[in-house]
Amino acid sequence: MEEFRTGHGFDVHALTAGDRVILCGVEIPHSHGLEGHSDADVGLHALTDALLGAIGDGDIGSHFPPSDPQWKGASSDRFLRDAKARVLARGGVIIHADVTLICEAPKIGPHREAMRARIASILDLAIDRISVKATTTERLGFIGRGEGIAALATATVKLRS
């Protein structure tokens, strides 16, 4: 018997002084940076939580506590690879991943295909199983004021039950 499960994830990081952000594994020159213990990649953090959610295996903070100095400045593909390994260890297969980045800037469109390719590479999936979308909050709230960037993610996995 096989069953399909869907998990979701959400993350926010504050914008701070800097000259680049890393979103969905892609470095983008920007007027600010993202604040965080790791590389602050909100997209990969949300997607990591979506995969962990699908298999009911805690969250990114429980596996990689921000209090642990070894994750300082860590490249977030490491977190996503760990979540993938946890799915595989359960005999699971990742079917699809869908990420929505929520920000006023930088513009995501020009980087969308690079982000899809990066996620596909990390998860070892065909690119047509990966979606990256972007929206703004119409200048409302903390995202609209450019104080931070948020990301939502959904992932579907097939498990043997």
**Residue 118 makes contact with Mg ion by CB under 5 A:** no
- How many CB atoms lie under 10 A from the CB of residue 161? 9
Of the candidate spans 39-47, 108-116, 125-133, 142-150, the one that interacts with Mg ion by CB under 5 A turns out to be: 39-47
**Residue 11 makes contact with Mg ion by CB under 5 A:** yes
**Residue 32 makes contact with Mg ion by CB under 5 A:** no
Nearer to Mg ion, 61 or 91 (CB): 61
Of the candidate spans 16-24, 42-50, 66-74, 137-145, the one that interacts with Mg ion by CB under 5 A turns out to be: 42-50
Place of tokens 């209090």: 67
Q: Least distance in Å: CB of 68 to Mg ion?
A: 14
For residue 59 the two structure tokens come to 């969250």
Rule CB under 5 A: which of 85-104 touch Mg ion?
Answer: none
**Residue 153 makes contact with Mg ion by CB under 5 A:** no
Of the candidate spans 11-19, 90-98, 129-137, 143-151, the one that interacts with Mg ion by CB under 5 A turns out to be: 11-19
Residue closest to Mg ion, measured at CB: 45
Q: Which residues contact 113 (CB under 8 A, 6 or more apart)?
A: none
For residue 126 the two structure tokens come to 């065909």
Cα–Cα distance for residue pair 106/5, rounded to 1 Å: 32
According to DSSP, residue 15 is labeled E
**Residue 45 makes contact with Mg ion by CB under 5 A:** yes
Cα–Cα distance for residue pair 79/49, rounded to 1 Å: 9
Q: What is the total count of residues that contact Mg ion (CB under 5 A)?
A: 2
Nearer to Mg ion, 46 or 157 (CB): 46
- What is residue 63's three-state secondary structure? helix
Q: Which residues contact 93 (CB under 8 A, 6 or more apart)?
A: 87, 157, 158
Residues in contact with Mg ion by the rule CB under 5 A: 11, 45
